[in-house]
């Protein structure tokens, strides 16, 4: 199996996380807690792609907390923590009945890492003993089916695919048929990357969603939005559009092994109430972590 | 979506019309808005800081020109400074060597492979003979993707057996180009993180060996604050000679390009404007400056209109209008031309202040409004199209049945046609050429 030379990735993860941590800690533990410090807090948040308006909001609230006697570090942590959406304490993905497979639709704009995330999810469920089936719903991009097939072979799970150019809804329908027939536990559906401003493509997504509801009325599909952590403020506009078309139930934040912080996820969680569930931290199939807000904040300020 | 900066500045500074100069206090108010707008457009915060300081200096004491209010004056300065920052370097491609080598580098998912195919097509259009080289052995099926794109464009792709090193793939590509007389070699490399030392070393070695005439960093227009450190790292390792800003057909403002050009001095050379292989456009600094400011992109709209409406047809149309001979057939033709300009949402999005309307309009189109009009006209006989006066009640009912619409639909189209004809006659009299959109509000 070919893959990029290994050995630097874990170091990269550590570096990225430590970079953010040390900066925020350093700033907040300054001896002078006046305007200069708060300007730097704001800058640190903006540099992490939290967004200018949200950064201003957080700083404003944290300063009010501090005026009421809170320590600055606790205040910022508290205000950041308040932005996270509520997490449901249920298993993921939802599987409403023993004979109904759980369905995960994986969606997002082009190049965010949907296919790689699918491989990682498949690996995770597969190694935990679940029967996994992949559906090659990206029938548009050249060689997308081959890419998913390669991953399916590596992970050791079956794939349902049609020819390039086929109707993705038809692929999904067939995959669900096959899943029911074979007693599959989890069906993971790949979809073509699409810019959220293309309404015909967003409608195609809504159709895929309807196809699932039609074939498996009892299924409660998980709709996983894959967001590249290097994305800036456009991430919010993306998430809103995808939420409107397909009803997001979770977010996978990918490429966190870069130096990017993925701060736009705060804005998304806050405005849509959709939680980040997974963090992609590298190119290997086991490079997918559960995302826990507490641990995330802990890492931010530890 | 945040408010358009020009509107916000108008609110802040609008009252100042009539005063002679922009005061320091006015400028500080305005700079607050400028800073927010640039940050929301993903311009790097350090770049914003420098930029705002520079604009502030220019704006204080600047004379408010005649016909401009203070807000417009500040916008003008901001636009000029943005355009200047985006205008760094040489935007044309510098092709040298035989063959000329162009390497595409960047983060994962930025659009390197698609851009490689688009560039190849661009060269074919210029009469050159490009060879694509699939030098990404890591991402599964990346090679297959480039081969499939090459096949669809009828452009050869050099690929090597699994296990071949990146360096050997590229060298093999160069040798093949020499052998088969291809004059441009486009090397598609694997996506890599700028902090991945092993892969950065690999690309450095590759560039040293094949000496590209152009090394293009492919950057996603949606990227945030990290754009600068990504570009700096690639530039330090290679160096980079130009940017390809991709996925600009979304609604990202593309502030990343500004950050990169400002910090590294590397110019944007191309914009990726869609998933199809012909969606590659030359870069215009003033237009991206307008986009970053949320001012719309009127110039692109005008250009696209000029491309779509050919001069001869326009003249024929003008003649017809003068003679009052504009028929339903012409109406249909006009409609098809407007359709050719691209999705209506795209078109409206380029007009300042219409960005918000674009989505609604797009929905109307997809709701079938345009195709309904088309179906109705196509259900008419040639005589009816030429002279709608013959359309009595029974003919109209037949048309409604034939087009799968209702009688009120048919009546509405005819009314719109009459209105348009009236409007166009007025416009023709006034010497204007662009036709109006052939459908009205319901």
SS3 letters across A6-27 = CCCHHHHHHHHHHHHHHHHHHH
pLDDT at position A19 over 60: no
What pLDDT is recorded for position B322?
A: 61
Q: How far is B8 from chain A (nearest CA, A)?
A: 15
Taking the CA atoms of B160, B164, B170 and B175 in sequence, report the sign of the dihedral they define: negative
- Burial of residue B161, with CB atoms counted within 10 A of its CB: 0-12 exposed, 13-18 middle, 19 or more buried: exposed
Phi, psi of B63 (to 5 degrees): -75, 135
- pLDDT tens digits, one per residue of B355-399: 444 444 555 555 567 778 888 888 898 888 888 888 899 999 999
Token pair of B254 as six digits: 């593309």
Domain definitions of chain B by residue range? 5-86, 100-292, 302-429
Count the alpha carbons within 13 Å of B98 in the hemisphere toward its beta carbon.
4
pLDDT > 60? residue A99: yes
Nearest to A260 among B110, B146, B226 (CB): B226
Residue A260, token pair as written in the block:
């990017």
pLDDT band at B433 (very low <50, low <70, confident <90, very high): very low
Do A258 and B107 lie within an 8 Å CB cutoff?
A: yes
Residues of B with Cβ-Cβ distance to A242 under 8 angstroms? none
Best of B39, B117, B202, B224 to disrupt the A interface by mutation (most A CBs within 10 Å)? B224
Exposed (0-12), middle (13-18) or buried (19+): which is B426, by Cβ within 10 Å? exposed
Q: Return the closest-CA partner of residue B291 out of B264, B263, B268.
A: B268
Check residue A112 and give its pLDDT.
95
CB interface of A with B, residues 55-94, below 8 Å:
none
Q: Is B249 on the interface with A (CB under 8 A)?
A: yes
* Distinct helix (H) and strand (E) counts, chain B: 20, 8
Q: What is the pLDDT of residues B62-88, one digit of tens each?
A: 766 655 667 777 778 888 899 999 998
Best mutation target, B109, B110, B365, B366, to test chain A (most A CBs within 10 A):
B109
Nearest-by-Cβ selection for A196 from B109, B194, B250: B250
- How far is A95 from chain B, CA to nearest CA, in Å? 30
Residues 6 or more apart whose CB falls under 8 angstroms from that of A285 comprise A119, A120, A123, A151, A154, A155
* CA of B427 vs chain A CAs: smallest distance (Å): 33
Average pLDDT, chain A: 89
Give the other-Cβ count within 10 Å of B172's Cβ.
Answer: 16
| Min Cα separation A66/chain B (Å) | 25
Are domains B100-292 and B302-429 of this chain identical in fold? no
Q: How far is CA B199 from CA B194, B244, B288, in A?
A: 8, 21, 32
Would you tell me how many other CB atoms lie within 10 Å of the CB of residue B180?
11
**Contact, B240 vs B264, CB < 8 A?**
yes
Chain B residues with CB-CB distance to A233 below 8 A: 40-42, 224
The CATH number, out of the four listed (1.10.10.10, 2.40.30.20, 1.10.260.30, 3.30.1490.20), of the domain defined by the range B302-429:
1.10.260.30
CA gap A220, A102 in Å, rounded: 7
Q: Is A129 on the interface with B (CB under 8 A)?
A: no
- Interface confidence, given as ipTM, is 0.89
pLDDT at residue number B254: 87
| pLDDT at residue number B25 | 80
Query: Which residue among B193, B252, B275 places its CB closest to the CB of A12?
Result: B193
Which residue in chain A is spatially nearest to B150 when comparing CA positions? A142
Per this entry, what is the length of chain A?
A: 302
pLDDT over 50 (residue B430): no
- Please give the average per-residue pLDDT across A235-258, as a whole number: 93
Mean pLDDT confidence for B336-357: 52
Residue B359 distance to chain A (closest CA, Å): 8
Q: Which residues contact A212 (CB under 8 A, 6 or more apart)?
A: A103, A105, A172, A176, A219, A221
pLDDT exceeds 80 at position B199: yes
Inform me whether the pLDDT recorded for B2 exceeds 70.
Answer: no
- Cβ pair B196:A8 closer than 8 A: yes
What DSSP line would sit under B277-317, residue for residue? TT-EEE--HHHHHHHHTT---HHHHHHHHHHHS-HHHHHHH
Assess whether pLDDT exceeds 80 at residue A282: yes
Residues of A in contact with B104 (CB under 8 A): none
- Look up the pTM and report it: 0.79
Q: Inform me whether the C-beta atom of residue B141 falls under 8 Å from chain A C-beta atoms.
A: yes
* Annotation: CATH topology of B5-86: 1.20.120
Name chain A contacts of B363, Cβ cutoff 8 Å: 199
Is the pLDDT confidence value at B191 over 50?
yes
pLDDT band at A75 (very low <50, low <70, confident <90, very high): very high
CB B294 within 8 A of CB B300: no
Structure confidence at residue B20 as a pLDDT band (50, 70, 90): low
Spatial CA neighbour of B155 closest among B137, B187, B130, B184: B130
In degrees and rounded to multiples of 5, residue A278 shows phi and psi of: -130, 150
Q: List C-alpha distances in Å: A197 to B80, B257, B339.
A: 29, 20, 18
For the beta carbon of residue B441, count every other beta carbon within 10 angstroms: 4
Domains belonging to chain A, first-starting first, are 9-81 (1.20.120), 102-291 (3.40.50.300)
Q: How many CA atoms lie within 13 A of A253 on its CB side?
A: 29
* Domain B100-292, CATH class in plain words: alpha beta
Smallest CA-to-CA distance from B228 within B48, B78, B398 is with B48
Q: Least CB-CB distance to B141: which of A52, A146, A197?
A: A146
Q: Which of B42, B147, B345 sits opposite A232 (nearest CB)?
A: B42
Please tell me the distance in Å from B362's CA to the nearest CA on chain A. Answer: 8
Report the distance separating Cα A51 and Cα A43, nearest Å. 10
Determine the Cα–Cα distance for residues B131 and A3; give it in Å rounded to an integer. Answer: 25
Using CA atoms, how far apart are residues B177 and B133, in angstroms rounded to an integer?
A: 10
């Amino acid at each position: 199996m070919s893959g990029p030379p290994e050995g630097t990735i874990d170091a990269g993860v550590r570096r990225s996380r430590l970079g953010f941590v040390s900066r925020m800690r350093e700033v907040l533990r300054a001896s002078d807690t006046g305007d200069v410090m708060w300007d730097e807090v704001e800058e640190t948040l903006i540099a992490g792609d939290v967004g200018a308006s949200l950064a201003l909001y957080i700083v404003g609230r944290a300063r009010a907390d501090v005026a009421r006697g809170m320590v600055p570090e606790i205040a910022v942590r508290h205000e950041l923590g308040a932005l996270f959406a509520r997490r449901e304490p249920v298993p993921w993905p939802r599987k409403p009945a023993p004979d109904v497979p759980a369905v995960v639709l994986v969606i997002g704009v082009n190049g965010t890492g949907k296919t790689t995330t699918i491989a990682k999810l498949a690996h995770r469920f597969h190694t935990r003993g679940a029967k996994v089936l992949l559906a090659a719903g990206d029938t548009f991009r050249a060689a997308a089916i081959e890419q998913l097939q390669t991953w399916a072979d590596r992970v050791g799970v079956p794939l349902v695919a049609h020819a390039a150019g086929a109707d993705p809804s038809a692929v999904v329908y067939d995959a669900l048929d096959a899943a029911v027939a074979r007693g599959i536990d989890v069906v993971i559906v790949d979809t073509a990357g699409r810019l959220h401003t293309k309404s015909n493509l967003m409608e195609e997504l809504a159709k895929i969603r309807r196809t699932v509801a039609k074939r498996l009325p009892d299924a409660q599909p998980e709709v996983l939005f894959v967001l590249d952590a290097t994305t800036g403020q456009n991430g919010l506009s993306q998430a809103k559009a995808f939420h409107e078309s397909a009803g997001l139930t979770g977010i996978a934040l990918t490429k966190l092994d870069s130096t990017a912080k993925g701060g736009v996820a705060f804005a998304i969680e806050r405005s849509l109430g959709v939680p980040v569930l997974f963090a992609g931290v590298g190119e290997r199939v086991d490079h997918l972590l559960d995302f826990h807000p507490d641990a995330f904040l802990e890492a931010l300020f530890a | 979506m945040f408010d358009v900066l020009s509107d916000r500045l108008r609110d802040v500074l609008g009252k100042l019309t009539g005063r002679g100069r922009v005061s320091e206090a006015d400028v500080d108010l305005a700079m607050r808005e400028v800073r927010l707008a640039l940050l929301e457009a993903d311009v790097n915060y350090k770049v914003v800081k420098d930029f705002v300081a520079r604009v502030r200096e220019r704006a204080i004491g600047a004379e408010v020109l005649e016909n401009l209010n203070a807000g417009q004056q500040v916008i003008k300065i901001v636009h000029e400074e943005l355009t200047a920052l985006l205008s760094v370097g040489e935007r044309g491609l510098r092709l040298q060597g035989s063959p000329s080598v162009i390497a595409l580098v960047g983060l994962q998912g930025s659009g390197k492979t698609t851009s490689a195919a688009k560039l190849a097509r661009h060269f074919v259009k210029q009469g050159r003979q490009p060879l694509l080289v699939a030098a990404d052995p890591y991402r599964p099926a990346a090679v297959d993707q480039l081969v499939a794109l090459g096949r669809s464009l009828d452009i050869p792709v050099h690929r090597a057996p699994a296990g071949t090193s990146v360096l050997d793939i590229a060298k093999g590509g160069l040798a093949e180009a020499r052998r088969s007389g291809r004059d441009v070699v486009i090397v598609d490399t694997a996506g890599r993180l700028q902090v991945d030392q092993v892969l950065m070393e690999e690309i450095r070695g590759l560039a040293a060996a094949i000496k590209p005439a152009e090394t293009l960093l492919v950057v996603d227009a949606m990227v945030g604050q990290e754009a600068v450190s990504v570009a700096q790292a690639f530039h330090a390792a290679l160096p980079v000679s130009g940017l390809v800003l991709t996925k600009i057909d979304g609604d990202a403002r593309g502030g990343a390009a500004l950050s990169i050009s400002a910090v590294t001095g590397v110019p944007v050379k191309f914009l990726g404007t869609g998933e199809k292989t012909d969606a590659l456009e030359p870069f215009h600094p003033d237009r991206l400056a307008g986009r970053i400011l949320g001012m719309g992109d009127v110039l692109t709209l005008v250009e696209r209109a000029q491309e779509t409406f050919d001069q001869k047809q326009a003249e024929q149309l003008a003649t017809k209008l003068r003679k009052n001979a504009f028929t339903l057939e012409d109406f249909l033709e006009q409609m098809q031309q407007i359709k050719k300009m691209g999705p209506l949402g795209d078109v409206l999005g380029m007009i300042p202040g219409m960005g918000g309307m674009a989505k609604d309009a797009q929905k109307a189109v997809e709701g079938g409004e345009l195709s309904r009009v088309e179906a109705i006209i196509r259900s008419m006989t040639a005589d009816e199209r030429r002279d709608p006066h013959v359309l009595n009640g029974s003919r109209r009912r037949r048309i409604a049945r034939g087009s799968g619409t209702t009688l009120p639909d048919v009546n509405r189209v005819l009314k719109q046609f009459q209105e348009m004809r009236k409007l166009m006659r007025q416009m023709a009299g006034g010497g204007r050429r662009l036709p109006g959109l052939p459908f009205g509000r319901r």
